Structure 1
Amino acid sequence: MKFSVIISTYNRENILPMCLDSLVTQNFPAEDFEIIIVNNNSTDRTEEVVESYIKKYPDINIKYYFVPRPGQVYARQIGILAAKNEILSFTDDDAILVPDWLNEIKKVFMINDKVAGVAGKIKIKWDETPPEWIYDYERQLGRLDYGSEIKIEPGLYMNAGNLSIKRDILFEVGGFNPEMVGEWLIGDGETGLWKKLYKKNYLIGWAPAALMYHYQSAKKNATVEDIERRFHNNGICIPYNIYAVDREGFKPLIKNSFYAAKQWMRWSIRKIKYDILENEKNKYYAIFRKAFYFAQISYTFKILFNREFRNMLGNNDWSINFNKK
């Protein structure tokens, strides 16, 4: 069983080496995996960083591609199409993988040949001690934990920071859904991929020892603003699925926006209440819920009144549906 590890990166010249260091030191035969780094239009020294690893580790198959078109989904497309091996393993440019990462993923695939994909455990690695409240929201930063035992069942969610999938199956379901495309957050990314696998009842494995540490900056990521942004992005997934995935049309979209408006008002009132009571924990949660519902309203208006945006949603050029070689 051979692996293609795919990393899309953008302006992470200082963080990317941590990820690459953890990959070039894997306890796995060098001839059985390749590392594919896709630079999604970075303006820093990312290319020089990758070239230095290619020179330093000639025995490891490291491939580098530059994709000028904005959008992680397009970067992943190139990585997927460039991959030569049967298992595609996706991780982030701010990931630190344990030395037996690939071995542990392989172990779960070998248990049952019907396994379509494998999710690995994700823990948050802070650069410094963050404020206490953030630990309740580490899931928003990618933390994933289904326990310490290997399991195989339909419907297990896979986070793209630690996601491995059979290449043929990824092609069959059309790959990832879009996320950021230029300045617009279009869709639901890895969640969309998971939903497509779930609808087909594919088996997903859990590899608890295939651990990824997700490096996070306390000053940047342990902030109300960053978690609010993540709740906003999650909210967008609701109208995106109604309109672009399930193709239900305008009526259900508008109905959902009225519900979202009602909920937004409800959480706005609660936020005022918690401000008065000086209840910081509940106030933060109210802020995040407001962001979740407001995103649905604003996204719906963008669909209804922005033709260019509607056309982009209907374009579907991020779908992986190319003929397999």
Structure 2
Amino acid sequence: MEISVVICTYNRPDLLKSALICLIDQSLTKNKYEIVVIDNGPAKNTEKLIGKFKSLYPDNKIFYFREYKPGLSRARNLGIKKSAGEYIAFIDDDAQMPKDWLKNALNLFRTIKPSPLAVGGPEEPVLPGGKPDWFKEEYYSPTINKLGQKGRFLKKGESLNGSNMMINKKILLQLGGFDTRIGMQGLYISAHEETAFFERLWQLNNGKDIFVYYSPDLLFRHIIQDFKLKVSYLLKRSFAAGQAWFAKYNKVSFPRRLILVFISFFYVFYHILISILTVPVYRKPQQWLIEKVSKVLFGIGFLLFGLGIVIKQKQN
């Protein structure tokens, strides 16, 4: 088996159905890939949907497993355990992959030199309900802005989009998969599980002979639900991201933890000051909130977690 595609889902059968259709229709020979669905939600409709797909498409290898404990990282780790592929592709249930996506990914693993341990690509946001006039693409296309529009090896410290990455299974097992303390937790927002993974990857052999490749040939379409375009959601996401960022450092020594708390206090103070000073610059208050106040909330989330205060944020 060449590639296992792991899709983690939480009570979103309509979106999952669309993602599955894209995977069924891949140009890569069917015996070279499998689809592994990890159900992390309490409802049973996802299992029924997979049963229908297995009946309709018997030539495709489709497997269903349930992870009862909420958490995207836990679901992905179960997907790693159940996958048979040499490479594991991780996508979300709100992704739509082009016909040649898997074929292009496998080609990158086979032809790019030095051989990459992981490959990934950018996303194209799809907004079914339309885009508010204040909404900028950069709010939901971070990999395009950070990694560019040309294929290249990532620099030490960079990471791929968690919704569109393929990783050698051996390295996933070597690093113990994803950190279950972070990443989406059911209905609650969290983040940075893929960032934490790539940080550990870069630490191997001090980054020597660690090759991660980014390619626009792996572009995928990301369906963004309407509630994720609301200012309230984006601000909650920033706060939750701050909490998750500190969680990555949860095992550090007490003195270093105190230093991080001390630094975060000044980070919050600095960005409060910047937010106040930049109010006149913005004609649209939503953009001011997203671009300036969100940094304050990130810092507050980071600071509170460092003080042992965890405040969960629901998605909607």
Shorter-normalised TM range: 0.7 to 0.9
**Is 1:288 aligned with 2:294?**
yes
Corresponding residue number in structure 1 for 2:160: 158
User: CA separation in 2, counterparts of 1:149 and 1:182?
Assistant: 35
User: CA separation in 1, counterparts of 2:191 and 2:214?
Assistant: 26
- Aligned partner of 2:276 among 269, 280, 286: 269
Matches within 5 A, 1:278-317: 279-280=284-285, 281-302=287-308
Cα deviation code 1:213-259 (max 9, x no counterpart): 00012x31111012112222332244223333688643223313322
State the shift of 1:173 in Å. Answer: 1.9
Matches within 5 A, 1:137-286: 137-139=138-140, 146-155=147-156, 156-177=158-179, 178-181=182-185, 188-200=192-204, 201=207, 202-217=210-225, 219-244=226-251, 249-263=256-270, 265-267=272-274, 269-270=276-277, 273-274=279-280, 279-280=284-285, 281-286=287-292
User: CA separation in 2, counterparts of 1:105 and 1:248?
Assistant: 44
Q: TM-score, normalised by structure 1?
A: 0.83
User: CA separation in 2, counterparts of 1:246 and 1:82?
Assistant: 35
Of 10-19 and 259-268, deviating more is: 259-268
Corresponding residue number in structure 2 for 1:49: 49
Cα deviation code 1:93-140 (max 9, x no counterpart): 000000000111112111225311001221111103211322244346
2:239 counterpart letter in structure 1: H
Residues 5, 36 of structure 1: 8 Å contact kept: yes
1:198 counterpart letter in structure 2: W
User: CA separation in 1, counterparts of 2:123 and 2:191?
Assistant: 23
3-state SS of paired residue (1:190): helix
**Is 1:121 aligned with 2:122?**
yes
Residues 271, 292 of structure 2: 8 Å contact kept: no
1:126 counterpart letter in structure 2: L
Residues 243, 253 of structure 1: 8 Å contact kept: no
Q: Identity, % of aligned pairs?
A: 24
**Cα RMSD between the aligned structures?**
2.8
3-state SS of paired residue (2:130): coil
Give unmatched runs, 5+ long, in structure 2: 311-316
Residues 242, 249 of structure 1: 8 Å contact kept: no
Change (3 A) 1:106 1:159: same
Residues 264, 294 of structure 1: 8 Å contact kept: no
User: CA separation in 2, counterparts of 1:246 and 1:161?
Assistant: 32
**Is 1:2 aligned with 2:2?**
yes
2:170 counterpart letter in structure 1: D
Of 221-230 and 149-158, deviating more is: 149-158
Corresponding residue number in structure 1 for 2:313: none
Of 221-230 and 175-184, deviating more is: 175-184
User: CA separation in 2, counterparts of 1:221 and 1:54?
Assistant: 32
User: CA separation in 2, counterparts of 1:185 and 1:151?
Assistant: 31
Corresponding residue number in structure 1 for 2:99: 99
User: CA separation in 2, counterparts of 1:248 and 1:258?
Assistant: 16
Residues 39, 64 of structure 2: 8 Å contact kept: yes
State the shift of 1:13 in Å. Answer: 1.2
1:188 counterpart letter in structure 2: H
3-state SS of paired residue (2:251): helix
Change (3 A) 1:137 1:153: closer
Change (3 A) 1:8 1:183: closer
3-state SS of paired residue (2:270): helix
3-state SS of paired residue (1:198): helix
3-state SS of paired residue (1:35): strand
Change (3 A) 1:71 1:255: same
User: Structure 1 or 2: larger strand share?
Assistant: 1
Change (3 A) 1:259 1:239: farther
Residues 123, 144 of structure 1: 8 Å contact kept: no
Of 36-45 and 89-98, deviating more is: 36-45
Of 12-21 and 200-209, deviating more is: 200-209
Q: TM-score, normalised by structure 2?
A: 0.85
Residues 124, 138 of structure 1: 8 Å contact kept: no
3-state SS of paired residue (1:75): helix
